[in-house]
Amino acid sequence: RSACLERDDMTIPGMVNCVTELEFVAKADPGDSFENVEIDALFNSPVARDELRIPAYWAGGDRWKVRFAPRAPGRHPFRVIVTKGQASLDRDYRGVVEALPYSGANRLLKHGPIQLSSNRRYLIHADGTPFCVGEFVEPESVAVAREH
């Protein structure tokens, strides 16, 4: 999903573990290239008190983008700030990503990213579900491999 931040305090629909891309405008001083400018989006989680800082990337001209994949359902308020260089934002970019629970069949998106278990012996999904490599192998590809 992609959204252009065209007005203040926008609510953007999202889905847990799925990327939502936000686009906005920032003008840098002439001579201050995108390499010398850093812009971040700060997201707040509905379940944790910490603030997640995600760097934006230059998308050409005066366009910048940031990609965010919520880890929990609910309202994720955000704001965009210039953290380095001489750039000015077109407006005060603030809003909310309203994340719904993932409803598809993709196990990676349903259970979250893969990580190490607490005992560092196994791979698990973010929600604690065990990860098994075999569950992602399509039966057709196994049959084709056996024929060759």
- Six token digits for residue 92: 């005060």
pTM above 0.85, yes or no: no
pLDDT digits (tens, 9 = 90+) for 70-105: 999 999 999 998 888 777 787 788 999 999 999 998
Q: List the end-to-end C-alpha distance of the chain, in Å, as a whole number.
A: 40
What distance in Å separates the CA atoms of residue 97 and residue 147, rounded to the nearest whole number? 48
**Could you tell me which of 72, 97, 102, 100 has the C-alpha nearest to residue 5?**
97
* pLDDT exceeds 60 at position 148: no
What distance in Å separates the CA atoms of residue 20 and residue 13, rounded to the nearest whole number? 8
- The single-letter DSSP state of residue 72 is S
3-state secondary structure string across 126-139: CCCCECCHHHHCCH
pLDDT digits (tens, 9 = 90+) for 29-86: 766 666 788 889 999 999 888 899 999 998 888 889 999 999 999 999 999 988 887 7
The pLDDT, as a whole number, for residue 144 is 46
* pLDDT exceeds 90 at position 1: no
The pLDDT, as a whole number, for residue 145 is 45
